[in-house]
């Protein structure tokens, strides 16, 4: 049995749904970051699979830029998370209403 484009796209869709449920259901900010990473990586799987099966590098370049953006998002987000945890001793999203300006 050969693994085709549909298999990769189904995997990407399943991971995207898992990440979407994680973003919508989580109250912990760290778990929200993990769910966002699952979303971004599922999109990367789709980009790379389509790129490979069409024989060009466009999707792989998009995946490269998504990885770079995700790394910067995690760096900034974890920095904010550490500062928030030092000040308030929790990372629950319900208690972050004090950030509203």
CATH number for 70: 1.10.287.3510
Percent over 90 (pLDDT), the chain: 56
Q: What total of structural domains would you count in the chain?
A: 1
User: Contact, 54 vs 6, CB < 8 A?
Assistant: no
Nearest to 66 by CA among 84, 50, 53, 47: 47
Query: Is 79's pLDDT higher than 80?
Result: yes
Between residues 69 and 98, the one the model is more confident about = 69
Contacts of 55 (CB under 8 A, 6+ apart): none
Query: Is 101's pLDDT higher than 60?
Result: no
Helix (H/G/I), strand (E/B), else coil: 100: coil
Query: Is 97's pLDDT higher than 70?
Result: no
Domain extent for 23: 5-99
The pTM of the full predicted model, rounded to 2 decimals, is: 0.80
């Amino acid at each position: 049995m050969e693994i085709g484009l549909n298999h990769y796209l189904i995997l990407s869709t399943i991971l995207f749904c898992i990440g979407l449920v994680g973003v919508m259901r989580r109250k912990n900010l760290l778990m929200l970051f993990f769910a966002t990473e699952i979303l971004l990586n599922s999109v990367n799987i789709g980009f790379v699979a389509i790129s490979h099966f069409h024989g060009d590098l466009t999707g792989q370049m998009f995946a490269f830029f998504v990885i770079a953006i995700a790394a910067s998002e995690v760096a900034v987000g974890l920095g904010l998370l550490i500062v928030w945890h030092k000040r308030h001793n929790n990372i629950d999203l319900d208690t972050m209403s004090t950030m509203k300006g």
